[in-house]
Amino acid sequence: MTLSFARPEWLWLLLAVPVVLAMARGSKRPLARRRWWLVLALRGLLMASLVMALAEPEIRRQVDDLAVLFVVDGSASVGAPGQQQALDYVQEALRSAGSHDQAGVVLFGADAVIEQAPRERLEVNDFESRPSPHQTDIGAGLRLGAALLPADRTRRVVLLTDGEQTRGDAAEQALLVRDQDLELLVVALEGHDLPEVLLEDLLAPPHVEIGATYDLKVVARSDEDVTGTLRMYVNARYLGEQQVELQAGRSRVVTIAREAPDPGLYRFPA
């Protein structure tokens, strides 16, 4: 058990306590000598207590028991090989865990879900949760994982991902996790060895009448022949997907018919 201070700069004021007491000692003493020394001691104790309160003391207790939260990337960019790599890592870590250590698992894609809440003697045979794989929000996984860890243990978050973030701010969330007195460990997963595919443009009319049908045109290009899946969203809501064949070095325009059901501003990430 150790004592520390959140704002130790206030402790410099303790140097002023003997100065103030010395000044009080030189003043007139109308009280009896014993009572005067008692008042002086109480005054010094009060001043020292005030300074200590301003410095915000903290008592830290050494905790041997560990709580680990494995935050696993379940997005499409990781694929089956990356998922198996993550599962192997988690299983190996659990085999070496202490008898009183706790462990849990969170899976994330476009959202984050609890696969296993933290508990002792955790066993993971497979990942059964299926978060939406169409986006990768690493920050959401870190946020949920940190929130599940108990406060009475040494806490660690293990992030297993290929790093292909498409939503949120993982770097900012990682800083917040470390500010919570958590240890953060990152394990790199091998993602798909995919060809380079670029969405060059997304064309849509600037104004559409309510109820009218209009065309969205997606311009895609690849560095090699490939068949892929084009996923469409409107205002971050998943619309659907379709298979698209691309030829190496040639742009292709994919046309998608849509209807404008309601007034408002529409954004179409793909």
Q: Would the pLDDT of 191 be above 70?
A: no
d(CA 133, CA 79): 9
Q: How far is residue 186's CA from residue 97's CA, in Å, rounded to a whole number?
A: 18
- pLDDT higher than threshold 80 for residue 76: yes
pLDDT score, position 57: 80
Q: What is the pLDDT of residue 63?
A: 56
Question: What's the average model confidence in pLDDT over 205-211?
Answer: 83
Query: What is the C-alpha to C-alpha distance for residues 143 and 176, in angstroms, rounded to an integer?
Result: 9
Q: What is the mean pLDDT of residues 224-248?
A: 79
Q: Are 125 and 84 contacting, i.e. CB atoms less than 8 angstroms apart?
A: no
% residues pLDDT > 90 (the chain): 25
* DSSP letters spanning 48-84: HHHHHHHT-EEEE-----EEEEEEEE-STTTHHHHHH
> What is the pLDDT averaged over residues 57-84?
83
State the burial class of residue 24 (Cβ atoms within 10 Å of its Cβ: 0-12, 13-18, 19+).
Answer: middle
Mean pLDDT, residues 18-38: 68
pLDDT score for 86? 94
- Tell me how far apart the alpha carbons of residues 226 and 159 are, in angstroms, rounded to a whole number: 31
The rounded distance, in Å, linking the Cα atoms of 218 and 199 is 7
Looking at every residue in the chain, the average pLDDT score rounds to: 82
pLDDT at position 118, please? 94
Give the range with max mean pLDDT: 2-6, 16-20, 69-73, 78-82. 69-73
Residue 170 has pLDDT above 80, yes or no: no
pTM: 0.57
Q: Is the pLDDT of residue 114 over 90?
A: yes
Highest mean pLDDT range out of 32-41, 123-132, 193-202, 244-253?
123-132
**Nearest-CA neighbor of 108 among 81, 78, 84?**
78
* Mean pLDDT in residue range 91-112: 92
Buried-exposed string 167-205: b where 16+ CB fall within 10 A, e elsewhere: bbebeebbeebeeeebebeebebebeeeeeeeeeebeee
Tokens 């040494």 belong to which residue? 154
Q: Does domain 66-188 have CATH number 1.20.1070.10?
A: no
Per-residue pLDDT at 29: 56
- The full set of domain ranges for the chain reads 2-60, 66-188, 197-259
pLDDT grade, residue 178 (50/70/90)? confident
